[in-house]
Amino acid sequence: MFSTRRLAALACPLLVLPAAACTPGAAHKEAKPPSADPSFSSSGGKNGGLRLTDAIGRLKVARESRTGYERDKFRLWIDADHDGCDTRKEALLAEAVKKPRQGKSCRLTGGTWRSYYDDKTVTDARKLDIDHVVPLAEAWDSGASKWTPERRERYANDLDGERSLVAVSLGPNRTKGDKDPAEWMPPANDATCTYATDWITAKLRWNLTADRAEIKALHTAAAGCKDATVTLSPEP
């Protein structure tokens, strides 16, 4: 189970902040821009994070191939810690602005979530998808086709990656499908920087490649995100 996850999108929806700059209960508190923080260096991000343009430069550029892809090659959703809550439920619990009640067999009732893709508040977990920020098919195209089944399972259920999974409204997630940033970006005006940060962080975490159109789109997005940073957390 993870304790800190994509807090920039949850606690600070109107500001692009490194995840460490927010706390789980900060959704209704005024956040301080990272540029006003004395620990935010002009040559790098807070807590040693990379600026988006520098992080994009670390992505390996390669052509993509979907040959052999099947969604079933990524096992979903597992209960890794055997506490009765599978990955979907764990993500819903972690992403909630107001936590749901947890009943028998991890049945969740109540709760409130903020879908940052479309800037909407959702109060029914059934109206949320747990999105792989970098879709399974895109991961396959970008290197996961060479992984072991065990590594693909870890990717599909990555609760330790702060920016790998996100609870979002059904509509934008279904529209996104398997698209990369060259083909789709979240419709909410203030979601671009958070999404670009999430995407780059997840790709670097799993050592996934990017194609040239994707790199170009990420640079375009990053141009308007001067204070956004990526914190590297490679998956072994």
Q: Are 60 and 143 in contact (CB under 8 A)?
A: no
In a domain, 81, yes or no: yes
Which residue carries 């990555």 as its tokens?
A: 158
Burial-class residue 96 by CB neighbours within 10 Å (0-12, 13-18, 19+).
buried
Assess contact for 110 and 101: CB atoms under 8 A.
yes
Residue 152, Cα to own-chain centre: how many angstroms? 17
Q: Is residue 1 assigned to a domain? A: no
pTM (global) more than 0.85:
no
Residue 2 lies in a domain: no
Tens of pLDDT, residues 118-158: 999 999 999 999 999 999 999 999 999 999 999 999 999 99
Grade residue 236 by pLDDT with cuts at 50, 70 and 90.
confident
pLDDT (mean) for 168-185: 98
Nearest Cα neighbor of 85 from 153, 1, 154, 169 is 1
Within a domain: 236: no
For residue 59, pLDDT over 70 is answered with yes
Q: Rounded to whole angstroms, how far apart are CA atoms 217 and 198?
A: 14
46 belongs to a structural domain: yes
Count how many domains the chain has. 1
Domain range spanning residue 103? Answer: 7-230
